[in-house]
Amino acid sequence: MHYLTTQDVTRLELKANEIRQSIIEMLAEAKSGHTAGPLDMADIFTLLYFGVMQHDPNNPDWEDRDRLILSNGHICPVLYATLAHAGYFPIEELMTLRKFGSRLQGHPHRTVLPGIETSSGPLGSGLSQAIGMAIADRMDNPYTSKFIYCLTGDGELNEGQIWEAMLLAGKERLHNLIMIVDRNGIQIDGYTKDVMPLESLKDKFEAFNFDVQEVDGHNIRAVNDAIGKAQAVYSQPSVIIAHTIPSRGVDVFERDFRWHGNPPGKGPEDRVAKDKQEEVALEKLRTLAGLIRKEDAS
């Protein structure tokens, strides 16, 4: 388990805020893409890349690295922004998101960008890929200290392939697999409770032989502790159900499923006019950064 001081938590919160600002800027420039998921997963991505994972931006193919598999590839703006801030490629390149010839496409492409472990697009396939990696790694070294982190969305759990993959993970007792579910309660057509109810999600995962934890996905210390506990499980795979707020950090966007697939400038305008959405979102995030610094100083 990686111990976090109060200063560590503040540093990570501020970095997550910077990543959220980059997400808003790149989506607004692209004029397409997903807003809610990338914003709500910024805290977890920041913790993984700046506090937990073994990785090296100067040597992306380092053999002993941990691996992050993004199964719900449509939230890739948060992955791209995190990788850029971690030093995998220039931050300025984020402004090429979804443009012709860009390395930053609407779903990640493994062979064109450093730090991308798998190509993703079809929902449900990432967990199968992560399980394959976890099995291969264990075959290479039964006492492996590497971890495969697979991030999925809760709407993605509608896909049957997820549950088929979980059967195999549970059977193989893949202790080196840590699944993190973005439990934000929304998907493109509405709220998950209306589209396809998932509860009791904890009981379902336990029935598939997963060790299960539920956590506030915006509490960096709590997520860090949950990951530490998952790393200490040696007899089964782990899943962390991270309860998040869609579009976290921009209160006028939060909890509204219509921001699932819309960028600033094309989102619902009952709270903010479309031509003001980028400006308002960045102002909200900069204000929040100031509050984080003020709280740390006190």
Q: Which two tokens stand for residue 180?
A: 């993190």
Q: In the prediction, which pLDDT does 1 show?
A: 59
Q: How far apart are the first and last CA of the chain?
A: 28
Query: Considering the domain boundaries, does residue 65 fall inside one?
Result: yes
Angle between helices 125-140 and 160-172 (to 10 degrees): 20
Query: Considering the domain boundaries, does residue 68 fall inside one?
Result: yes
- Segments forming the whole domain that contains residue 34: 6-297
Give yes or no for residue 143 having a pLDDT over 90. Answer: no
Residue 48 near residue 68 (C-beta atoms within 8 A): yes
Query: Considering the domain boundaries, does residue 1 fall inside one?
Result: no
Query: Considering the domain boundaries, does residue 34 fall inside one?
Result: yes
Q: In the prediction, which pLDDT does 53 show?
A: 97
Query: Considering the domain boundaries, does residue 57 fall inside one?
Result: yes
Q: In the prediction, which pLDDT does 245 show?
A: 97
Q: In the prediction, which pLDDT does 121 show?
A: 79
Give the number of domains in the chain: 1
Query: Considering the domain boundaries, does residue 169 fall inside one?
Result: yes
Strands (E), the chain: 67-70, 148-153, 177-183, 186-187, 190-191, 211-216, 238-243
Mean pLDDT of the region 23-29: 98
Q: In the prediction, which pLDDT does 238 show?
A: 98
Q: Is 91 exposed, middle or buried (0-12, 13-18, 19+ CB in 10 A)?
A: middle
Domain with residue 292: its CATH number is 3.40.50.970
Give yes or no for residue 85 having a pLDDT over 90. Answer: yes
Position 116: which residue type?
A: I
Query: Considering the domain boundaries, does residue 280 fall inside one?
Result: yes
Sorting pLDDT into bands at 50, 70 and 90, what band is 233?
A: very high
Position 248: which residue type?
A: R
pLDDT digits (tens, 9 = 90+) for 193-221: 999 999 999 999 999 999 999 999 999 99
Average pLDDT, rounded, for the chain: 95
